[in-house]
Amino acid sequence: MEEKSFLKQKIDKESPNRNIVPVTTSIEVDGKLSVGGCSIEELVNKYDTPLYILDEITLRKSCKAYKNALEKYYPGKSLPIYASKANSSIFMSNLVSSEGLGLDAVSEGELLTALKGGVPNEKIVFHGNNKSDKEIEFAVRNNIKIIVDNDYDLKRLEKISNLLNHDLEIMIRFTPGIECHTHEYIRTGSFDSKFGFGIEYLNTLFAKISGTKYLKLKGLHAHIGSQIFELEPHKDLGEIMVKVILAAKKFGHNIDELNVGGGLGIKYTESDDPPSIDEWVKTISSSVVEACKKNNLEFPTLMCEPGRSIVSTAGITIYKIGAFKEIPGIRTYLSVDGGMSDNPRPITYQSNYSACLVNNPFNIDSKNKYTVAGKHCESGDVLFKEIELADCKTGDLICVFGTGAYNISMSSNYNRIPRPAALLVHEGEAEIIQKRESPFDLLKYDVLPDRFIKRN
Ligand code: LLP
């Protein structure tokens, strides 16, 4: 019997982003897959499919890895901040905050979710390249630090601070001009980006801020992209940021917070080999420490904003297999009961994942190649262009790994398909953290104008 499986790989317990599967993944005596001590098949019997599952231990290990590494390489003056766009919920806000992390939000919705989840206001930062007046007011009223992205933000904050008649601390986001190897849609640090001030504009900006009565430039922010495996760009970023602190000094600004963004990649497939959280933090910390020492600069507080590497590996999605369609000599389509509405990443970024059958996770005797299609009315709704699986049939379950980040948070109701439920698993217990939508929920905001009702 031949066994081909990524499930055989040794688990890195310290840095979950280096594994394909959650750290608690195991195979039960009956040969079936379990995560967080829960049999996936039993969870499906109770909660149906498609089903998002998050493993608490993996989540906590990722948070601790950032906390511990920052403590080790940058003692006493750091804050890891969870980028909630990766997976925003009251539960996630609560969990990261219980691990001592802060949270980054980019909309009133994410801000509200963070506050409801119990993240302390002073540990929240508010981003966005087109914040509304309402969002800015909400953040100011709640004492949430705003990351100024452009002149439009600056103008409105100056106005608000004048009205309030007191100091307002701000951070500014700039584009450091660093190129990194990742999909162009998720690359943000190069000069041609919609986010942040261009580095060449910073002196003008510093002068502008000096000219305001109440704005206090507290910190700098830059984020160079996402799903990055190289360490060099973050080393460069640390150095550039310290140079910017020095430039700001000439205008009388004492910047004492550096936020280096997120971006550390995760292992989606066997060919992915991201650095560990420890290595990533070490690189960025040493780069800042060395640059500060060289320039006789007091160490600023160091912040980073991981999203994917906190939550992605903790998450899996379970689908039920439905229709098969064999096109002789070409391919066999296997269709599942979800797809691009619960995971838009393959169709958006051509992202690759790893998957296995729940009742044959080691893929014993795999001999079939399938194209795994979603159920949406779109030819590109394909989760796997080609995957090798053992014999499977309608009704079997398939588990896709690494779906904790940018799946539920980017999900949609395309084709009026309700969003799956999300569960948390821990030590054999499963709890709902997001309820399954029903088709009726989707009607909630539809309105038929009165005159149409009369006409019918
Ligand atoms: N900070 C800022 C300002 C960001 O824009 C992002 C991600 C992060 C932190 C977190 O980056 P991470 O650690 O997750 O790489 N939807 C895309 C990813 C978009 C990332 C957007 N910004 C995907 O599914 O790959």
Model confidence over 278-331: pLDDT tens digits?
999 999 999 999 999 999 999 999 999 999 999 999 999 999 999 999 999 999
Residue 336 falls within a domain, yes or no? Answer: yes
The answer to whether residues 23 and 95 belong to one domain is no
The answer to whether residues 180 and 249 belong to one domain is yes
Q: How many CB atoms lie within 10 A of CB 145?
A: 21
Strand partners, 429: 426
Give the range among 58-62, 180-184, 328-332 with minimum mean pLDDT.
180-184
CA 158 to chain CA mean position, Å: 31
The answer to whether residues 140 and 267 belong to one domain is yes
Residue 327 falls within a domain, yes or no? Answer: yes
The answer to whether residues 206 and 132 belong to one domain is yes
In this structure, are residues 377 and 415 in contact, taking their beta carbons and an 8 Å threshold?
A: yes
pLDDT for 189 beyond 70: no
Residue 448 falls within a domain, yes or no? Answer: no
pLDDT for 7 beyond 80: yes
In this structure, are residues 169 and 145 in contact, taking their beta carbons and an 8 Å threshold?
A: yes
In this structure, are residues 189 and 176 in contact, taking their beta carbons and an 8 Å threshold?
A: yes
Phi and psi of 97, rounded to 5°?
Answer: -70, -35
Model confidence over 124-134: pLDDT tens digits?
999 999 999 99
The answer to whether residues 113 and 24 belong to one domain is no
For the CA of 406, the closest atom of ligand 1 is: 24
Model confidence over 420-444: pLDDT tens digits?
999 999 999 999 999 999 999 999 9
Q: Is 304 a catalytic residue?
A: no
Residue 203 falls within a domain, yes or no? Answer: yes
The answer to whether residues 51 and 73 belong to one domain is no
Please indicate, yes or no, whether the overall pTM of this predicted structure exceeds 0.85: yes
In this structure, are residues 389 and 363 in contact, taking their beta carbons and an 8 Å threshold?
A: yes
Contacts by 3-11, CB closer than 8 A, 24 or more apart: 3/362, 3/363, 3/364, 4/363, 4/366, 4/388, 5/356, 5/361, 5/362, 5/363, 6/269, 6/270, 6/354, 6/356, 7/356, 7/361, 7/362, 8/362, 9/270
The answer to whether residues 65 and 88 belong to one domain is yes
Model confidence over 193-249: pLDDT tens digits?
899 999 999 999 999 999 999 999 999 999 999 999 999 999 999 999 999 999 999
The pLDDT of 150-178, averaged and rounded, is 96
| CA pair distance 263, 246, nearest whole angstrom | 25
Count of domains forming the chain: 2
Model confidence over 17-49: pLDDT tens digits?
999 999 999 999 999 999 999 999 999 999 999
Which residue's CA is the closest to the ligand 1 atom numbered 23? 406
DSSP 338-364: --TTT--HHHHH-----EEETTBTT-T
Last residue of a domain, one of 310, 344, 375: 310
The answer to whether residues 247 and 337 belong to one domain is no
The answer to whether residues 83 and 218 belong to one domain is yes
Average pLDDT value for the chain: 95
Name the pLDDT band for 1 (thresholds 50, 70, 90).
Answer: very low
Full residue range of the structural domain in which residue 34 is found: 5-55+312-442
The pLDDT of 57-83, averaged and rounded, is 98
Last residue of a domain, one of 282, 310, 338: 310
pLDDT for 184 beyond 90: no
State in Å: Cα 453 to ligand 1 middle. 45
What lines the ligand 1 site, CB under 6 Å? 83, 85-86, 104, 127, 186, 188, 223, 226-227, 261-264, 305-309, 345, 349, 406, 410
Which residue's CA is the closest to the ligand 1 atom numbered 21? 186
The answer to whether residues 276 and 360 belong to one domain is no
pLDDT for 455 beyond 70: no
pLDDT given at position 367: 78
Model confidence over 359-390: pLDDT tens digits?
999 888 777 899 999 999 999 999 999 999 98
| CA pair distance 263, 189, nearest whole angstrom | 11
The pLDDT of 72-78, averaged and rounded, is 97
- Of 62, 130, 197, 223, the residue with max ligand 1 atoms within 8 A of its CB, to mutate for a pocket test, comes to 223
The answer to whether residues 348 and 229 belong to one domain is no
Contacts of 406 (CB under 8 A, 6+ apart): 85, 86, 87, 307, 308, 312, 345
What is the CATH number for 217?
3.20.20.10
Pairing of β 429-434 and β 421-426: antiparallel
What is the CATH number for 365?
2.40.37.10
Point out the catalytic residue in the list 63, 180, 292, 377.
377
Name the pLDDT band for 187 (thresholds 50, 70, 90).
Answer: low
pLDDT given at position 178: 86
State in Å: Cα 306 to ligand 1 middle. 8
The answer to whether residues 27 and 86 belong to one domain is no
Residue 454 falls within a domain, yes or no? Answer: no
- E-strand ranges in 176-214 read 197-198
pLDDT given at position 182: 59
pLDDT given at position 366: 74
